[in-house]
Structure 1
């Protein structure tokens, strides 16, 4: 059983050389193995800041609080140590890495996380099976990481990494953005497959409830003004879809 805990997390975004702005204003959240927690909220509420602060992005500076993975404060770890400890971030805007093939990138990542290099033939079969499950063209394995990929193809590649790295805890930052109906279904099936096979805990950041029609959320949290403003069950996502976030913004939550 893995437990992921965010306790009193506050963080600033660094703007230029000297300026900063506080974005996270005391976030508390606990996620257990196998649970999916959805965070929904308006633009600018701090959802992506939460993801990047936890992952260790240098532009975001944590000023207070703890982030514990099985009792260990990941904020005291380097970014690569966080990944090896079992954390994973699917980025909202995956970057291109020209000159590094997808297959080499994935095998190097798996080697770093697992602590030893998988046999080439074994890994190749594992990767091909995962790619097939996500409807990724096998030819993409030899292409540069995300180079020339469409938005939907980049998101499938993020879930491919999730399947191969098998983390204890995953943050999926707007994985559904830019996906058409078919791609959303494929990506959601990939997430569900990993959950069923590994019992990973998931923090799913999204604007819309449509992905929650495919990936069941155990808990839904409204994020506004840098903190969790309200929590509930799956029915909260339906209410937000019909009512929007206006009352949370007006309340200054």
Structure 2
């Protein structure tokens, strides 16, 4: 059993107008095997939370703690956070021309696990994982995400998740840009990782459609850079019906914050 604790986390980012506070005291605890959905209006800081946890240098931590099993994540570099068991599936996965998927994935697994898997074992594991995600075997020799469609990039993210076997996964709007079939396949991969390893999940999403496939245990409403309401799956249903207007500043519209 592992625990991810976010305690009074505050973070800011440099803008043209100067440094702007985005996270205003986030408190959240996720246990192994739990799925927490983070929902909220555009501009509320959901993606900032994801990238701050992963160690993106753009975001400056101004206070608070983030602990994995008591270890302070904020004192670690991004690669050390991955070794500690944290994984980020990006909303917009980057392309890495010249680096094949198979070399990238084997190097990542070696770095996280501390030793290289045998070629024979690795080839079989990669092939089986790609088959489960309905990925063409030829993609293993293609450059990372280079020329991939949006759905193919998201499947490649879940492929990493299945092979790296982290303790906690942050899914930053994994549902964006996916058609119904791709959403189902990607969701099956996430659910499989959770079932096989006891993965804890923090799922950042704007809409409820992915929650029909990846069932949340807890739903948090995120607004003004912090969690403002927490409930069960029924909270997501209410948000679908009512929207986020009640959480916006008076006189603001969600489209204006996009």
Correspondence list, 1:155-170, <5 A: 155-170=154-169
- CA deviations on 1:104-131 (whole Å, 9 max, x unpaired) are 0000000000100000111011011000
- What is the rounded CA distance, in whole Å, between the counterparts of 1:92 and 1:152 in structure 2? 11
How far is 1:13 from its partner? Answer: 1.1
- What is the rounded CA distance, in whole Å, between the counterparts of 2:11 and 2:180 in structure 1? 35
- State how many pairs are aligned: 251
- What is the rounded CA distance, in whole Å, between the counterparts of 2:19 and 2:148 in structure 1? 34
How far is 1:216 from its partner? Answer: 0.9
- What is the rounded CA distance, in whole Å, between the counterparts of 2:228 and 2:248 in structure 1? 10
Instruction: Compute the RMSD of aligned alpha carbons.
Output: 1.1
Does residue 234 (structure 1) correspond to residue 229 (structure 2)? The answer is no
- CA deviations on 1:129-170 (whole Å, 9 max, x unpaired) are 000111111000000000000111100000000000000011
- What is the rounded CA distance, in whole Å, between the counterparts of 1:105 and 1:15 in structure 2? 33
Q: TM-score, normalised by structure 1?
A: 0.97
Correspondence list, 1:42-61, <5 A: 42-61=41-60
How far is 1:20 from its partner? Answer: 1.2
- CA deviations on 1:48-84 (whole Å, 9 max, x unpaired) are 0000011110000000000000011100011111000
How far is 1:251 from its partner? Answer: 6.3
SS state of the match for residue 68, structure 1?
strand
Unpaired runs of 5+ residues, structure 1, are none
Correspondence list, 1:135-174, <5 A: 135-174=134-173
Moved over 4 A (4+): none
SS state of the match for residue 126, structure 2?
helix
Does residue 6 (structure 1) correspond to residue 13 (structure 2)? The answer is no
- What is the rounded CA distance, in whole Å, between the counterparts of 1:152 and 1:54 in structure 2? 25
Does residue 108 (structure 1) correspond to residue 107 (structure 2)? The answer is yes
Which residue in the other structure is 2:212 paired with?
213
Which residue in the other structure is 2:196 paired with?
197
- What is the rounded CA distance, in whole Å, between the counterparts of 2:100 and 2:84 in structure 1? 25
- What is the rounded CA distance, in whole Å, between the counterparts of 1:21 and 1:93 in structure 2? 23
- What is the rounded CA distance, in whole Å, between the counterparts of 1:251 and 1:190 in structure 2? 40
- CA deviations on 1:194-252 (whole Å, 9 max, x unpaired) are 00000010000001111111111000000011000100000000110111000011469
Unpaired runs of 5+ residues, structure 2, are 252-258
Which residue in the other structure is 1:64 paired with?
63
Q: TM-score, normalised by structure 2?
A: 0.95
- What is the rounded CA distance, in whole Å, between the counterparts of 1:15 and 1:166 in structure 2? 36
SS state of the match for residue 57, structure 1?
coil
